[in-house]
Amino acid sequence: MTVDKFQLPPYPHDKLRRITLSAKEQGRQVVDLSIGTPCDPPSDRVTKALLTPNVINGYPPSIGTSDLRNAARQMLERRFSVRVEESELAMCVGTKEFVASLPHFLHLKSPGKDTVLYPAVSYPTYAMGAHTFGLRAVPVPPGVNGSMDFSAIDKEDIDRALLLWVNTPANPTGEIEDLVAAAKFAADYGITLCSDECYGEFTSPLERKSVLSCGKDNILALHSLSKRSNAAGLRVGFYAGDGELVHFLQEIRKHLGLMIPGPIQAAGVEAFAEDEAVDRQWGIYKDRLSYLIDMLDGIGVKATMPKGGFYLWVKSPESYQKDPRLIKNGGKTENSGWLFTEDLAKHGAMLVSPGDFYGQLGADHIRIAAVQPLEKLELIKSELEKSKLSFL
Ligand SMILES: Cc1ncc(COP(=O)(O)O)c(C=O)c1O
């Protein structure tokens, strides 16, 4: 029997290096709007809590201190109107590691199942978490309303599914997922549902929803301090929901020594207690998104305000379909998302992400993260105005 050797794909953002290098060689500055890393500071009370005494000497609990878990539970109740018991919530070291490792842990529990279902245009780690552990990742295309189209999944994939990921508001599209439909589909087929809600507070209060309002049976919600509190460097996240599943995961994670450092757990307590700073930050993102929409309009590119999150998901202008660079490569190694990305870096001094980072279905788009202050966005605008790049 031949066994396929695992081929590690390049890390998506590393593929942008050639664009930044070429700008550097030409002495041009590019403003980085490619990664969703917050640039605004966390609040003082969070920073000060990092100096909490007596939390360095001992090992911190892998599930999180009781104070931290309670602060997270209270945040869920205040902001999402859902209640969980202390035993139904545990911490993770930022949510990326949880997204990446969950399929493996669920497979240990249910070795007969080997498939992860995830949104076809989405955060790349949903698929990587399956691939790196030798599991299958099956993309689910969006339906007409932007939510996942469960009717498009093959029967065999449903039968083999361990886990269904949803992400709301979604990175990169800014869509709000139909959580009731996802919960029904997952329950009908006995699939664990995990809803990644790390942008959950960056939307209108009416759209602010947690999957836990649909129940907890075989369901988890995943939250992070990275975006809500401008604290990606702290690496604090939590998962909450089905008590039995939370218990299983927390026990494995304890064996593996996955734990948030003590001073950071103390800072996390302060961060989960804050709401005003989060709402203020959402206002800042909305202003930047509006600025970027107007700026793109000025060069003939249409972009619309996302329903949530801080990304613009923008279709590449039609003219790229006739671009000789695309035609030359038969559309195989280049796509319009990459060409648009290259042109924006070359003429507009901004680095964005080509849409294929988020799945082949996104190849005709780019993603722009509103993570730089207005002064930097003004710089991009003035470079664009000076350049000849226009799709009008
Ligand atoms: C959809 C989504 N989920 C999870 C993460 C991981 O965030 P963190 O590990 O900082 O909690 C990100 C980061 O960009 C994301 O966009």
- pLDDT tens profile 162-194: 999 999 999 999 999 999 999 999 999 999 999
Distance 99 CA to ligand 1 centre (A): 8
Whether 169 lines ligand 1, by a CB cut-off of 6 Å, is no
Whether 38 lines ligand 1, by a CB cut-off of 6 Å, is no
Q: Beta-carbon neighbour count of residue 263 at 10 Å?
A: 17
Give me the pLDDT at residue 333, please.
Answer: 58
What is the residue with the minimal CA distance to atom 2 of ligand 1? 123
- The C-alpha atoms of residue 87 and residue 99 are separated, in whole angstroms, by 20
- The C-alpha atoms of residue 303 and residue 286 are separated, in whole angstroms, by 13
Tokens in use for 313?
Answer: 């998901």
Give me the pLDDT at residue 26, please.
Answer: 85
Distance 330 CA to ligand 1 centre (A): 34
- The C-alpha atoms of residue 167 and residue 169 are separated, in whole angstroms, by 6
Distance 36 CA to ligand 1 centre (A): 8
Place of tokens 């992070």: 224
Whether 94 lines ligand 1, by a CB cut-off of 6 Å, is yes
Distance 125 CA to ligand 1 centre (A): 9
Place of tokens 């939370």: 246
Amino acid at 13: H
Distance 219 CA to ligand 1 centre (A): 19
> Taking the alpha carbons of 86, 91, 95, 96 in that order, is the dihedral positive or negative?
negative
Whether 227 lines ligand 1, by a CB cut-off of 6 Å, is no
Give me the pLDDT at residue 2, please.
Answer: 56
The answer for 257, left when phi > 0, alpha when psi is -120 to 50, beta otherwise, is left
Give me the pLDDT at residue 180, please.
Answer: 98
SS3 347: helix
- The C-alpha atoms of residue 19 and residue 78 are separated, in whole angstroms, by 44
| Atom number, ligand 1, closest to the C-alpha of residue 97 | 9
Strand order in 311-315's β-sheet?
Answer: 311-315, 365-369, 353-354
* Contact present, 54 and 265 (Cβ < 8 Å): no
| Atom number, ligand 1, closest to the C-alpha of residue 224 | 11
Give me the pLDDT at residue 326, please.
Answer: 78
* Contact present, 164 and 194 (Cβ < 8 Å): yes
Whether 237 lines ligand 1, by a CB cut-off of 6 Å, is yes
Whether 339 lines ligand 1, by a CB cut-off of 6 Å, is no
Whether 200 lines ligand 1, by a CB cut-off of 6 Å, is no
Structural domains present in the chain = 12-36+277-384 (3.90.1150.10), 44-273 (3.40.640.10)
SS3 139: strand
Main-chain dihedrals φ then ψ at residue 304, nearest 5 degrees? -120, 155
Give me the pLDDT at residue 348, please.
Answer: 85
- The C-alpha atoms of residue 345 and residue 355 are separated, in whole angstroms, by 15
Amino acid at 77: E
Over the chain (392 residues), what is each successive 10-residue block's mean pLDDT?
A: 73 87 85 96 95 90 98 98 97 98 98 98 97 96 94 98 98 97 98 98 95 98 98 98 98 98 97 97 98 97 98 96 74 80 92 96 97 96 91 90
The β-bridge partners of 89 are 240
The 8 Å CB, 24+ separation contacts for 45-50 are 45/270, 45/274, 46/229, 46/231, 46/234, 46/267, 46/270, 46/271, 46/274, 47/267, 48/270, 49/263, 49/266, 49/267, 49/269, 49/270, 50/263, 50/264, 50/266, 50/267
- The C-alpha atoms of residue 277 and residue 271 are separated, in whole angstroms, by 9
Distance 96 CA to ligand 1 centre (A): 5
Whether 167 lines ligand 1, by a CB cut-off of 6 Å, is yes
